[in-house]
Structure 1
Amino acid sequence: CYFDMGNAIRTYKYNVLTFIPLNLYEQFKRAANLYFLALLILQLIPDITTLPWYTTLIPLVVVLGVTAIKDLIDDLVRLLRKADLLLLSSTNPNSLCYVETAELDGCLLVCFIALIECEEPNNRLDKFTGTMLWNTERYPLELDNMLLRGCKVRNTEECHGLVIFAGNDTKIMKNGGKTRFKRTKIDELMNYMVYTIFALLLVVSAGLAIGHSYWYDDIGGKSWYLYDGLDQQASYRGFLSFWGYIIVLNTMVPISLYVSVEVIRLGQSKFINWDLQMYFPEKDTPAKARTTTLNEQLGQIQYIFSDKTGTLTQNIMQFKKCTIAGHNYGTEPVDWSWNRLADKKFSFMDHLLVARVRSKKDKEATEFFKLLSLCHTVMAEYKDDDLVYQAASPDEGALVTAARNFGYVFLSRTQDTITIREMEQENTYEMLALLDFNSDRKRMSIILKFPDGRIRLYCKGADTVIYERLSPNSRHKESTQTALDKFANETLRTLCLCYKDISQDEFDAWSRRHREAQVSLVDRETALDRVYEQIEKNLMLIGATAIEDKLQDGVPETIAKLAKADIKIWVLTGDKKETAENIGFSCSLLTDDMDIHYGEDTCFTITSKTLCYINEIVHTPTPCVICCRVTPKQKANVVSLVKKYKKAVTLSIGDGANDVNMIKTADIGVGISGQEGMQAVMSSDYAFAQFRYLQRLLLVHGRWSYIRMCKFLRFFFFKNFAFTLVHFWYSFFNGYSAQVNMFITLYNLCYSSLPVLLVGLLDQDVNDRLSLKFPKLYLPGQQGLLFNYKNFFISLFHGIFVSLIIFFIPYGAFLQTMGQDGEAPSDYQSFAVVMSSTLIFTVNLQISLETSYWTFVNCFAVLGSIAIYFGIMFDIHSAGIHVILPSIFTFTGAASNALRQPYLWLTIILTVGITLLPVICIQFLHKTIWPSVGDKVRLLASHHQPVKMLTKKPSAFQRGGRSRRSAYAFSHSRGYADLISTGRSIRHRPTGRAGYQGSIREVPHREAENI
C-alpha cells in the first residue's frame, strides 16, 4: 500500500496558534475588508483623520468576529481522525457489514487478510482498483470492498479493517477540492458598483484636494485669522486634505452595507424555514434553506433542470403489468390469500397469470418469476417474524416483491448462494458470477448453477440494450416490443427479461477471462465490460415488466405555473423516449398545442445519442426540453452548457445520488428528501419534501427576496449619496477642508438604518396568494429590471438632487432671513442643525413612500429613527455632556437655540417638501400611466374584484393522465452485484402524500387580460 503519513493526521484547518492569523489572512483576501482596514489605518494618522478611529474599528471587528466564529464551528467537525479502510472481519454471522453513506455508495464487504496492492491515492469516489494475494491466489479489490471515510457502519457491533488511505490521502479529502462558491447576480453587480463608487470617491476627493490647494494659496495662507501655526506648502495641505476626504466620504460605501445585506439574507432564510405551507407533515419535513447567500437569486431563475423519478414522481414502485411470451397481463384485481408469504401491500390485476403460475405448466411464466426472484442484489432479513427486503432501488424491491407474491420467494443469500422458495419448495442456487448494473450498461446479469447442475445466465435491462443482444432465434420480439410501447404510453417503467443456457466448458473459459479482468490494475472497468459483452449475447427473450411510479401531488399545477412565469423547464431522465414524452403530458410539461420535435424546434425530446447536438438546441427558443436515457454525468453537462451559452440563471432539482452533480453545477441546487436517501439534500442549497413546494419557493420567497434586496440596495445607495454629497457642496464654502462630525458616525448606525433594513426583510408588493395566482409577476426578476446600472445611476442622480436641495435651500434661506433678535442666523451650528434635520426627515419619509407593506414594526422604525436623532442631537448639544468631554462636544445649546426659531422649522418643511414632491409625482405617473403588472394586481386586490388565473381551457383531448409513468426500471446509482457476497441493504423511511389545496377566485376577463 501507499503511505506517506501516519494515521494521526491533522485534517482540520486551524489549531490554537494558527486560528487567528490564518483566519484573518483568509478574510482579508476580500477587497471590502481590505478597504475598511485601509480606512482604519488612515484614521490613526492625526494629521489627516477626520473621524474617530473606533467608528471603523468596531463594525470591522464585528464583521470579522462573526465570520471567524462561523469558520471555527465548521472546522471543529474535522477533529475526528478518519481513514479509508479495507474491511477484514465483522461480528455479523455472514461476515457482512451494512454501510450507510452520505454521497458515497458502499456495499456489502468481503472479509480477508492478505497482501494488498492498490492504486495510489486519488479523488475517484466511485472507483478503487487493487488486488489481494491470499493463499497463493490473487483476488480483485474494488470500491465495494472499502469502508470509505465519511460512511457509517450499521447493524454491525464491530469490524476490523486495514487502513489503506489516511488523512489527506483519503478519497473524500482528495475529492474535496475547492467547492464552487455560488454568487448571485446581484452580488456580482454590487461588486462592480462598489468599484464605480470607489473610483468616484477618488475623483471627488482629488478634486476637493486640488481646490483646497488653490484656496490655501489665494486665501487661507494669507488670512491671519485662519493661521494654524503650521508652515506647510499648499500642495502638502492638499495631499492631507485628499486623505481626509477619503475618510469623510467613505460613507458612500459604508461597512454597514455588507452587514445589512447579510442580516437581510439570514432573515429571508429563516422565513423559508418557518413557512408552514412548505412543511410536509407525513414525513415531518420542513423546508430548509441550507445557504443564506442565494435567496434573491431564487427570484431570477430562467431554467429549471429536473430529475423525474422521485422528483416529479413518488418513487414508490408498484408492479402493474407484464408481458410473457407475447401475452400481456394486468387487468383485474387478484386475491392473494392462497400465498401465506405474500406481501399484503402488493396488488396486481390479472387472475389468468396467477392461475398459469400456480399450475406450473406455463414454462415461460415460471422462468419469468424465477428470474425476478434470482437476478437482483436485494438483501432479506426478518423483523418480528416478517420477511423484509432491503433493495438498492425501489424498482428492484418492486420486482422481487412481485415474484414473492406469485410464489417465488427470495429467502436469503450468502457470498456464493441464493435461496428461494418456489411454490412451497425451497431451492438453493450457486451463484457463479454477478454482472452488476451501472448507468452505462443499463442491465445486470447473474450466472447460476442449478441444483441439477445446469448453468444459466439471467439478464434484465433496458430494451435498447437487451434487443441488441438477443439471439436471432429468440421469439416474441415483435409482440414484446408492441407491449413495451403500450406500457410506455401508459407511463410505466419497463424492463426486458431474458436468459441463456451456458455449457460448463463455455463458462470455464469465460470465467478465466473474467478473473484476469478482475485482477487487472490497469483499466479494470473497460476489461470487465469487454468480458461481460462476451457472455451477454445470444439471449432468449422471456418478456418484460411494467412498474408504475405515480406523480407527486401538485406536480402538473406547479409546472403549469412555473411555465407561465416564463421559466423554461428541462426534464433529464433515464427513461425511454416514449416514457419521457408521456410523462411530459402527465405533468403538464407538454400540452396538445405544442409542436414536439425530436431534435428540433419548440419542444424537444432528446435521447442520449442526440445530446451531441445540444449546442444547437440551447440556442433554440423552446419552452421545454426532455432529455431521456441520460446518465448522471450527462445531466451535469447539460446544465453546464446552458449556463455557458445562455448566460442564464439555472436551478437543478433532484432527490438521488445520481442528481448530485447536476445540483452542484446549477446556480441554485434544490434537494428533495425522498426514497433515495439524503445525498441530494446534503449537496443542495435548499431542500424540502415535495416538488410542489418549488412554486412557493420561487414565486413567493424568491420573488419577495429579490424585490426586497433590490429595493434595499437602491435606497441604501440613495441615502448615502444624499448624505455624503452634502459634504461635497459644503466644501466650496469652507475652504475645502474636511470636517469632523459626530453626525457622520451615527447616520448609518442609528438614524437611517432600521427602516431600510426592515424593508429588506418584510416588504412585499403583493401577498403570497396573488404571487402564486399571477406568475407573470416573476418576470421583472428574470430580466433584472429592479436593480441594474440604470437603477444605480438613478439612485446616484437622485442622491445628487436631494443633496443639492438639502444644502442650497437652507443656505439661501439663511442669507435672506433675520432672526427674532434682528440678526441674520448665519452661525455654523444652526445651519448644520437645519441640514441634518432636513436630511433625516427626507430619508425616513422617502423610505415610507417606498414601503409597500406596512406593519407596526415599520411605523416604529421610521418614527423611532427620527426620535432617536432628536434625542441624541439634544444630548450632544447639552451642557452636561460638554462638561464631561468639552473638547469633543463644543456646541452647547446649538440644537435648542436653532429649533426654537419658527422660520428654521419652515425652512425644514419647505426643503423636505421640495425633495419629496418629484418622487410623489413620478410614483403617481408610474401607477396611473405606466403601471407595472404588480401595480395592476394591487389595484384589483384593493377593489376586491375576483381574480381569474390566466390559463387556457384544457383541450378536449388530453394526452396522458396524471398517474401515467414509465422508464426502464433501474436506478442510476451503481448496483451491488460484484459484492453481493458482501451484501448491503439500504433502508428507507415510510413516506406518504399530503393533499394539495389551493383556492381560485374569479375576475372579469378583460381586466385579467390587461394584467
Structure 2
Amino acid sequence: MFGFLPQGNAIKTCKYNPITFLPLNLFEQFKRAANFYFLVLLILQSIPQISTLSWFTTLVPLLLVLGVTAVKDLVDDIVRTLSVSKKSQTTKWKDIKVGDIIRLKKNAFVPADILLLSSSEPNSLCYVETAELDGETNLKFKMALEVTHRYLQEESALADFDGLVECEEPNNRLDKFTGTLSWRNSKYPLDADKILLRGCKMRNTDFCHGMVIFAGADTKIMKNSGRTRFKRTKIDSLMNYMCLLHFFSTCPTLPLCAPQIIVVLILLSAGLAIGHTYWEQQLGNSSWYLYDAEDSSPAYRGFLNFWGYIIVLNTMVPISLYVSVEMIRFGQSYFINWDLQMYYAEKDTAAKARTTTLNEQLGQIQYIFSDKTGTLTQNIMTFKKCCINGQRYGKLFKKHKEILQVDFSWNMYADGKFLFYDHYLIEQIKSGKEPEIHKFFFLLAICHTVMADTSDGQLHYQAASPDEGALVTAARNFGYVFLSRTQNTITISEMGIERTYDVLAILDFNSDRKRMSVIVRESSGSIKLYCKGADTVIYQRLHPRSLKREATEEALDVFANETLRTLCLCYRDISQDEFEVWNKKFMEASLATSHREEALDKVYEEIEKNLILLGATAIEDKLQDGVPETISKLSKADIKIWVLTGDKKETAENIGFSCELLTQDTTICYGEDIRQNEILLEKKKKKKKLKLKFPRTAEEKKKQTEKRRRAEAYKEQQQQNFVDLASECRAVICCRVTPKQKAMVVEMVKKYKKAITLAIGDGANDVNMIKTAHIGVGISGQEGMQAVMSSDYSFGQFRYLQRLLLVHGRWSYIRMCKFLRYFFYKNFAFTLAHIWYSFFNGFSAQTAYEDWFITVYNVLYSSLPVLLVGLFDQDVSDKLSLRFPRLYVLGQRDLLFNYKKFFISLLHGTVTSLIIFFIPYGAYLQSMGQDGEAPADYQSFAVTTASSLIFVVNFQIGLDTSYWTFINAFSVFGSIAIYFGITFDFHSAGIHVLFPALFHFTGQSWWFVVLSPVSCSFYLQEEQQWKRRQSAFRRGVSARRSAYAFSHQRGYADLISSGRGIRKRRAPLDAVLAAGDTGPGHTGHTGHTGDTGDTS
C-alpha cells in the first residue's frame, strides 16, 4: 500500500535530443542573468534610433559565451547518457514496475529499490557494492527477513507471493527506510538492512530475489540527484555590490552582480543624455549637416541618447568577465587535483576539488571546525586496556623497557595482528576463577552488529565501525570468538566450546542514544540484556547497588588521560513475564509507519535500566602523521581551530595536548566553570514558571507569551555570549557533542561572528557540519565516503589541509583579486574614453573607437594576459608560503579586494582614459601631415587612441605580474601583435571597400603609442617605490602589511631564502613577520600567556 502514485522505472538521463538541444539549451542559458542582460543590450542595439554601435559588437562576444557553454553542456549530456547505459537484460529496466518480483545475478546492477526476499547465500545474505551511491568500495551486507528466507527460495513460491508492503514515501535518505510487510496474517518490520538500492552492484552472491518498492524517479538515488545548496564566496558577495543588477544576485552561476556599477552607468548615461538635450536646444538647429528629416524634440532625442549611452558604456562590465572568472576557477581546481604533494600513496588517494566555485574562499578561512576520530587520528582502533570488576588490565608498550607480548598460540581463532602485554589477564581467563572476566569478554562477543565471513576458509569480520571491529577482535583473541549469525541466532565459541544463542532483540546504536544493547536467550532459558555505551548514559541507568562504580570511574579517568577511547559494559537479567510485556511494546513500535525511531527509543528506555556494571574498555586511536605541525602552522596563520568530538572531556583535552592544540602555557577554561552563575539563574526561572503553568486569564496568557519570547531572546543572547567568549580563545574543544550540535556550533559562529568557516571530517556524523560551513572538507578514512561525497574538497590526510589553505587557497585569493582589479581597470580605461569624446560630438553617443575594435577588445586584445595572471601568478613560492604562515592573513582581512581597491581601480582607469584620449587630442589639434592636410580625422584619432590603450593595458599587467613565465610574456606581446595584425589588415587597400579608408600611422601616432604607457605607469611605479622606502624604517608594523609589502618587491624570494637585509640596520624578515599586530581584534599569539582554550 502506497501513499503516493508509483512511478515507472524508465528514467530519462539525457537532457537533450537533436531537435530540442538548441532551443532548450538557449532557454536555460538565457535564464542566466548575465546572458539575459546582454541579450537585452543586443535588442537595444538593433534599434537604429537608439544605438550608435553595430549589432555585432555585442553579438560576437555573446555568441562566443553561448557557444562555449552549449558545447560543454552537450558533452556533459553525452557522458551522462553513456555512463548509465547498461548491457542488454532479459527484462529491460524501463519495463520494471512497483510490485514486480525480480531475480538478480552476480555482478548485476540493482535496477530499482527492492525488498530483499531471498538469496543464494546462507540466511539470505546479500553482499553489495555501493560505490555509485556513496563512493564506498567496501562491500556491505543485506539480510532478508527470516520468514521470506524460509519460504521464498523457489520460483513457484515467489510467483504465489502475496505480501503487502506499507512504507514511507519516497525520500533521499540512503541509510533510512521504514516499512512493514504484511503476509500470512502477520506483520514484519522492514528497515534499511533489508533494502537493495538502485545503483548498487551485486557482489559475492550468485543470485537474489526481491520485490520492487520504489522505481524510476522515486528511487533514493534519483531523489538525491537534485540540486545541492549553492555556496557563494566572500568575493562573490562583495561583487554583488559592485557589478550589474541587484536582482542578478539570485543567479547562482553569476558571481558578478549588483548595483554599484549599474548605478554609475545609469547616472552617467542620464547626465550625458541631459547634455545632449541641452546641445540640441542650443546648437542643434545651426548644425544643418546633421539634419535627418525628423522633427523630434530635444527631450525626445535626449531620451533616445540615454539608451544609446547605456549600450556604449555597458563595457564597464563585459560579458567576458563571467567566462574569465569561470575559467580561472576551473584551472585552479585542477591545480589542486594535480598536486602530488597532496597525494596519499598508502591509499592511492589524490586531493580532489569537488567544486570549482570556492577556490579563493580557501584563502580567507578564519575558523576551522574539525572532527577528532578519523580526522586528527587514524581511526585504526586497537584494544589496549580494560577495567573488569574494578581491576585494571593492560600495559602500554614502551621502547625503553621491553615487555613480552602475550602468546595467543593456544587459541586457534586468534588474530596474529592483535598485540597485548598483560599476562596476568590471560592467566585469569585460563584459570576461570573470575566469572566477571568471562562475562566481560562474552559481552564483547555477543553485543554488536558485526558480520563474520569465512568464504576463503579464514575468519574475517566486517564491522560497521572500527570500534566494534576492535572489540570483537579482542574478545576473539581472549577465547570468546564470534563465529556466525542468522536473523535470530548468534554462534560463539567460548574457550573452544561452540554455543548458539537466540537473539530476541537488538537495540540499535545511534548518536543520540550513545549505546547499543542485545537481548538473548541462553540455553538454560534465562533471558539477559547486554549493553555497551558511553559512560555518561550507562551510569545514569545503573542499578543503585551496582558494585565497583567508583573504581571503574577512576579507571575511565585514567584511560581518558592516556587519550584512550572508552566504553562501559553492563548487563541485567530479565524475567520471562517482563520480557513478554516489553516485547509486545517493542513489536508495536517496530511496526509503526511513522515516527518509528522515536517510538523505539522510548521502548528501549523502559528495558535499559537497573543495569549491573561489568567494566570498561580502552581503545587506542593514534594521531595521524603531521597533525601537530599542521595545527601549529594554521594557528600561526591566525586561524582559530575548534575540535568538536563526542569523546569525554579528559580524552578530548589530552588529544588537544597530543596534537599541540593546547600547550603547557595555555590557560584552560572549562565550560562548567563559566556556567556556575547561570545555573542559579535557571533555577530561579523554573520556579517562576511554575506559577504560570495554568494561566487563567487572557492577561496571564499574554504575559506567558511575552515570557516565552524573552526566553528565546535570552537563549540567543546565551549563544552569542558563548561565541564571543570562545572566539577570544586561541583554541576551543567541544566534547560530548552530537552531529546536530556540531552543525549548530558552526552555524552560531557564522551567524554571530560573520567569519569564514571551514569544517573537516571523515564520517557520516560530520556531514551536517561539512554542509553547514562555508567550506566543507572530507577525509577519505575508515568510516566510508559519506563525508567526502558531501564535501567541497577532499584528500587522504589531515596534514594536507595546510597546503590546501596556505598555498592553494592563498594563491587562488591573490590571483582572483589581482584579476578582478586589473579587469575593472582595463575596462574603465576603455569605456570612459567614450565620455570624454562626448564633449566633442554633442553628446551624441558616438564611440571613440571603431566598431570591430570594441567587439574584440575583451576577447582578443586584452583578455589573455590577465587570464594567465589569474591562473599562474604567485608572489612567493609554495615553500615560502608554508614557511611563513603569517602571509595568509591578507585574505582574512580582505586587503587585496575591497571597496577601496575597487575605487582605486576605477580612479586608475579614469586617469588612464584621460591620458590616452587627451594627449592624442592635444597633439592632433594643431598638427599637419606631409601632404599639407590635417591628419586629425575621426579614424586616425580612433586608431591612435586604441593603439595607445592596447599598449597601456598590456604593459600594465606586465608590470603587475609577479611570476613571469614564457606563457605570460607571449600573452602580453602576442596580444599587441594580434592587435596590430588585425588593425593593419582591416585598414589595408585590399578591403578598403568594406572598411574605412587606408590609415597610415604617422610619426605622431607612434610617439603617442610609446608615450602613453610611460605616462600611465609612472604613478604606479612611484607608489611602489614609496612603499619600499617606508618599509625600511617603519618598525612595529603589522605582520600582514610587512608580508604584503615585501611580497610585491623584486628580489623578495632571495631575501627570504638568504636572510640578507635590503638595507643596513633593517630587522630580519623573520622578526618582521613575527611582529605583533597592534590593530584591534588581533588575538591569539602563539605562546601568549593570555591565550585560553575552552573545553566545554
Normalising by structure 1, report the TM-score. 0.89
Report the counterpart of residue 31 of structure 2 in structure 1: 29
Report the counterpart of residue 912 of structure 1 in structure 2: 1013
Shift of 1:296: 0.5
SS of 1:193's equivalent in the other structure is coil
- Per-residue CA deviation, residues 313-368 of structure 1 (Å, 9 max, x unaligned), is 11111111111111111124322233232111111121111111122222121111
Shift of 1:485: 0.4
**Which structure 2 residues correspond to residues 192-341 of structure 1 after superposition, within 5 A?**
192-194=241-243, 195-228=259-292, 230-331=294-395, 332=403, 333-341=405-413
Pick from 878, 881, 885 the counterpart of residue 775 of structure 1. Answer: 885
Instruction: Find the aligned partners of 2:47 and 2:594 in 1 and give their Cα distance.
Output: 66
- Per-residue CA deviation, residues 605-633 of structure 1 (Å, 9 max, x unaligned), is x99x9999543211222222212122212
Contact in 2 for aligned 1:107/1:145 (Cα 8 Å): no
Shift of 1:124: 5.3
Report the counterpart of residue 617 of structure 1 in structure 2: 722
Moved more, 654-663 or 267-276: 654-663
**Which structure 2 residues correspond to residues 173-192 of structure 1 after superposition, within 5 A?**
173=222, 178-192=227-241
Report the counterpart of residue 941 of structure 1 in structure 2: 1053
Change in CA separation of 1:279 and 1:58 when aligned onto 2, cut-off 3 Å: same
- Per-residue CA deviation, residues 833-892 of structure 1 (Å, 9 max, x unaligned), is 33222211211111112111111111111111122222222111110121xxx1x41131
Shift of 1:588: 1.4
Report the counterpart of residue 868 of structure 1 in structure 2: 978
Say whether residues 1:415 and 2:487 are aligned partners. yes
Shift of 1:470: 1.4
SS of 2:572's equivalent in the other structure is strand
Change in CA separation of 1:26 and 1:595 when aligned onto 2, cut-off 3 Å: farther
Instruction: Find the aligned partners of 2:290 and 2:142 in 1 and give their Cα distance.
Output: 88
Instruction: Find the aligned partners of 2:820 and 2:637 in 1 and give their Cα distance.
Output: 25
Report the counterpart of residue 992 of structure 1 in structure 2: none
Pick from 793, 798, 805 the counterpart of residue 691 of structure 1. Answer: 798
Report the counterpart of residue 560 of structure 1 in structure 2: 632
Change in CA separation of 1:524 and 1:904 when aligned onto 2, cut-off 3 Å: closer
Change in CA separation of 1:944 and 1:517 when aligned onto 2, cut-off 3 Å: closer
Report the counterpart of residue 87 of structure 1 in structure 2: 116
SS of 2:642's equivalent in the other structure is strand
Instruction: Find the aligned partners of 1:71 and 1:390 in 2 and give their Cα distance.
Output: 42
Instruction: Find the aligned partners of 1:924 and 1:636 in 2 and give their Cα distance.
Output: 48
Report the counterpart of residue 644 of structure 1 in structure 2: 751
Shift of 1:504: 2.6
Say whether residues 1:848 and 2:958 are aligned partners. yes
Report the counterpart of residue 898 of structure 1 in structure 2: 1001
SS of 2:491's equivalent in the other structure is strand
- Per-residue CA deviation, residues 784-826 of structure 1 (Å, 9 max, x unaligned), is 1111111111111111111111111222222344545566543
Q: Paired residues, what number? A: 947
- Per-residue CA deviation, residues 446-502 of structure 1 (Å, 9 max, x unaligned), is 112222333222111111111111122221111111111011011101111112122
Pick from 497, 500, 513 the counterpart of residue 425 of structure 1. Answer: 497
Report the counterpart of residue 543 of structure 1 in structure 2: 615
Shift of 1:213: 3.1
Q: Write the letter of the residue equivalent to 1:186.
A: I
**Which structure 2 residues correspond to residues 383-402 of structure 1 after superposition, within 5 A?**
383-402=455-474
Shift of 1:381: 0.9
SS of 1:409's equivalent in the other structure is strand
Report the counterpart of residue 154 of structure 1 in structure 2: 203
Change in CA separation of 1:92 and 1:65 when aligned onto 2, cut-off 3 Å: farther
Say whether residues 1:512 and 2:619 are aligned partners. no
Change in CA separation of 1:107 and 1:380 when aligned onto 2, cut-off 3 Å: closer
Normalising by structure 2, report the TM-score. 0.82
Moved more, 705-714 or 924-933: 924-933
Shift of 1:406: 1.2
Moved more, 116-125 or 806-815: 116-125
Change in CA separation of 1:384 and 1:200 when aligned onto 2, cut-off 3 Å: same
Structure 2, unpaired ranges of 5+:
86-92, 95-110, 149-160, 244-258, 396-402, 683-713, 1032-1040, 1061-1066, 1077-1096
Instruction: Find the aligned partners of 1:517 and 1:1007 in 2 and give their Cα distance.
Output: 67
Contact in 1 for aligned 2:57/2:851 (Cα 8 Å): no
Shift of 1:249: 1.8
Instruction: Find the aligned partners of 1:341 and 1:566 in 2 and give their Cα distance.
Output: 52
SS of 2:66's equivalent in the other structure is helix
Report the counterpart of residue 925 of structure 1 in structure 2: 1026
Instruction: Find the aligned partners of 2:663 and 2:385 in 1 and give their Cα distance.
Output: 27
Instruction: Find the aligned partners of 2:970 and 2:607 in 1 and give their Cα distance.
Output: 78
Q: Write the letter of the residue equivalent to 2:946.
A: S
Instruction: Find the aligned partners of 1:84 and 1:159 in 2 and give their Cα distance.
Output: 14
Shift of 1:128: 3.4
Report the counterpart of residue 982 of structure 1 in structure 2: none
SS of 1:85's equivalent in the other structure is strand
Sequence identity percentage:
66
**Which structure 2 residues correspond to residues 291-690 of structure 1 after superposition, within 5 A?**
291-331=355-395, 332=403, 333-599=405-671, 613-620=718-725, 621-690=728-797
SS of 2:1019's equivalent in the other structure is helix
Shift of 1:219: 3.1
Pick from 128, 131, 134 the counterpart of residue 177 of structure 2. Answer: 128
Instruction: Find the aligned partners of 2:596 and 2:300 in 1 and give their Cα distance.
Output: 75
Instruction: Find the aligned partners of 1:229 and 1:890 in 2 and give their Cα distance.
Output: 26
- Per-residue CA deviation, residues 664-703 of structure 1 (Å, 9 max, x unaligned), is 1111111111111111111111111011000000010000
Instruction: Find the aligned partners of 2:932 and 2:1007 in 1 and give their Cα distance.
Output: 18
Q: Write the letter of the residue equivalent to 1:86.
A: L
Change in CA separation of 1:898 and 1:941 when aligned onto 2, cut-off 3 Å: closer
Instruction: Find the aligned partners of 1:269 and 1:858 in 2 and give their Cα distance.
Output: 20
Instruction: Find the aligned partners of 1:69 and 1:626 in 2 and give their Cα distance.
Output: 49
Contact in 1 for aligned 2:890/2:1044 (Cα 8 Å): no
Q: Write the letter of the residue equivalent to 2:38.
A: F
Say whether residues 1:8 and 2:32 are aligned partners. no
Say whether residues 1:748 and 2:858 are aligned partners. yes
SS of 1:596's equivalent in the other structure is strand
Moved more, 834-843 or 242-251: 242-251
Alpha-carbon RMSD across the aligned residues, in angstroms, is 2.9
Instruction: Find the aligned partners of 2:825 and 2:434 in 1 and give their Cα distance.
Output: 83
**Which structure 2 residues correspond to residues 102-141 of structure 1 after superposition, within 5 A?**
102-103=133-134, 108-111=142-145, 112=148, 114-122=163-171, 127-141=176-190
Q: Write the letter of the residue equivalent to 1:627.
A: C
Instruction: Find the aligned partners of 2:551 and 2:986 in 1 and give their Cα distance.
Output: 93
SS of 2:123's equivalent in the other structure is coil
Instruction: Find the aligned partners of 2:471 and 2:1059 in 1 and give their Cα distance.
Output: 48
Instruction: Find the aligned partners of 2:548 and 2:811 in 1 and give their Cα distance.
Output: 58
Pick from 834, 838, 853 the counterpart of residue 944 of structure 2. Answer: 834
SS of 2:209's equivalent in the other structure is strand
Q: Write the letter of the residue equivalent to 1:650.
A: T
- Per-residue CA deviation, residues 249-299 of structure 1 (Å, 9 max, x unaligned), is 221111110111111111111111111110111111111111111110111
SS of 1:139's equivalent in the other structure is strand
Structure 1, unpaired ranges of 5+:
949-1001
Change in CA separation of 1:744 and 1:140 when aligned onto 2, cut-off 3 Å: same
Shift of 1:742: 1.9
Shift of 1:304: 1.1
Contact in 1 for aligned 2:135/2:789 (Cα 8 Å): no
Change in CA separation of 1:770 and 1:423 when aligned onto 2, cut-off 3 Å: same
Pick from 49, 52, 60 the counterpart of residue 50 of structure 1. Answer: 52
Instruction: Find the aligned partners of 2:800 and 2:623 in 1 and give their Cα distance.
Output: 14
